[in-house]
Structure formats: C-alpha cells, structure tokens
C-alpha cells in the first residue's frame, strides 16, 4: 500500500481534480453568511437565502447588522433552522460592527485567541469557526469536517472519532501556503461528495490503495 503525507495528498487531489475555487462568494461578508447558513443543509438552499439577503442589503455589512430578526428569518428560511441561524448571523455582524467591520483589526486584536472568540459567539461551532479563520481571516487552518473525517479513516488514520480528534492529528499546516490550505478544503469536500458515501464508492476513486501518514 502506497503512503502519502498530508501535502502529497493535497497535490494528488489537485492533480486529479483541478482547482475548486472555494469559497464561492464575492466578498468576505458573503462568506460569513454562507458559512453560517450551510450548517445542516446543502448549498442550493444556501444560495436561495443568499439571494434574498443580497436583494435587501447588497451584502453591505452595516445593513446586515441592522436587519430586523423577523425579516432575516424570512430571508433565510430556505436554509432551515432559521431561528438559530438568524440569531447567529445578527450576533456575528453586531460583533463585527463593534470593530467597524475591520477584519484585519479583529485579526490583530485577538491573534491566536481569535478561534476561541469565534467559538464564544452564538451558533459558531468548531467547523464554522475554522472556515471563518481560513477564508475570512486568512489563517492557515485545517477544516476537519465529516467528509474529511470519513476519508481519513478510509486512508487508514486510526483514532478519528470526531472533529476535535482529527484536529489533534493535523494541528499545523506549515507545508501549505494560505491559498493551498483554502484549496485543500475545497478538494476534500468535493472528493467527499463524490467518493466517501461508502467504502465501495471510495474503492472506485484515485485514492484507493493509498494510506495517509500524518507523522511526516
């Protein structure tokens, strides 16, 4: 069985699948909305909600932060869980408003404690926090979502039980540039949609027969 390092896995996926162009958005504030709305739903539903918000706010953060919650719930109804997600969106954008929506200032202010701060906001779990760090605050982090957990188990990584357990295996991405780290998440997610439904579908993929070595 052939062995791959994490970076070799990235280059093999990129070679086989090509650039994925993630995260799909025209601005970082749109990314924030998408990252919250996509929780427990699919992207097609998110797109419907984003269209509704765009019509009302043009994704101008000041306008988003001042939306009435009842109106926002109607805008994002297609994404489901609209009560919790509306609360999360307004809490996020009102927090951003405190810093005048200056993402660099927020990044500098919190430094290494930014993830902890994001996790303290309503409706922001580990995966959403890491997506925001990666695509909004330009930090090289690994997003250990369910597709990736399942793939890494299929690639022979033992002890992957949940999000935090996989994060312990991949606690740095020194070999990656920021752009590569962002691309890697897109590749992992797209590969997951195609091939990790079950072991049979995985065995039809270009990664069948490989084993991932996270010690290097």
Question: 103 and 69 in one domain?
Answer: yes
Question: 125 and 192 in one domain?
Answer: no
pLDDT attached to residue 172: 80
Region of 159 please: left (phi>0), alpha (psi -120 to 50) or beta: left
Question: 99 and 181 in one domain?
Answer: no
Range of the domain at 164: 2-21+141-212
Question: 74 and 14 in one domain?
Answer: no
Identify the domain boundary among 91, 119, 135: 135
pLDDT attached to residue 24: 85
How many domains, the chain? 2
Tokens of 70: 């009842």
Question: 119 and 55 in one domain?
Answer: yes
Q: Which residue has the tokens 């969106």?
A: 89
Q: Burial code of 113-129, b = ≥16 C-beta within 10 A, e = fewer?
A: ebbeebeebebbebbbb
Mean pLDDT per block of 10 residues along the chain (216 residues) reads 94 97 92 97 96 98 98 98 98 98 98 98 97 97 96 96 93 91 97 92 96 89
pLDDT attached to residue 40: 94
Structure pTM?
0.95
DSSP per-residue letters across 37-58:
HTTTS-HHHHHHHHHHHHHHHT
Question: 187 and 100 in one domain?
Answer: no
């Amino acid at each position: 069985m052939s062995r791959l390092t994490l970076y070799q896995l990235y280059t093999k996926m990129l070679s086989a699948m090509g650039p994925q162009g993630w995260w799909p958005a025209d601005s970082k504030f749109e990314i924030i909305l998408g990252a919250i709305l996509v929780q427990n739903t699919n992207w097609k539903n998110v797109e419907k909600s984003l269209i509704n918000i765009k019509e009302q706010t043009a994704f101008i953060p000041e306008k988003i932060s001042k939306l009435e919650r009842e109106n926002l719930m109607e805008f994002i109804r297609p994404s489901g869980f609209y009560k919790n997600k509306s609360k999360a969106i307004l809490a996020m954008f009102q927090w951003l408003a405190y810093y005048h929506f200056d993402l660099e200032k927020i990044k500098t202010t919190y430094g290494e404690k930014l993830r902890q701060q994001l996790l303290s906001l309503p409706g922001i779990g580990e995966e959403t926090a890491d997506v925001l760090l990666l695509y909004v605050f330009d930090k090289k982090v690994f997003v250990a979502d369910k597709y990736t957990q399942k793939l890494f188990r299929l690639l022979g990584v033992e002890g992957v039980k949940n999000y935090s357990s996989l994060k312990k295996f991949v606690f740095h991405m020194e070999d990656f540039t920021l752009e590569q780290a962002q691309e890697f998440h897109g590749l992992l997610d797209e590969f997951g949609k195609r091939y990790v439904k079950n072991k049979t579908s995985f065995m039809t993929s270009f990664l069948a027969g490989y084993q991932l070595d996270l010690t290097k």
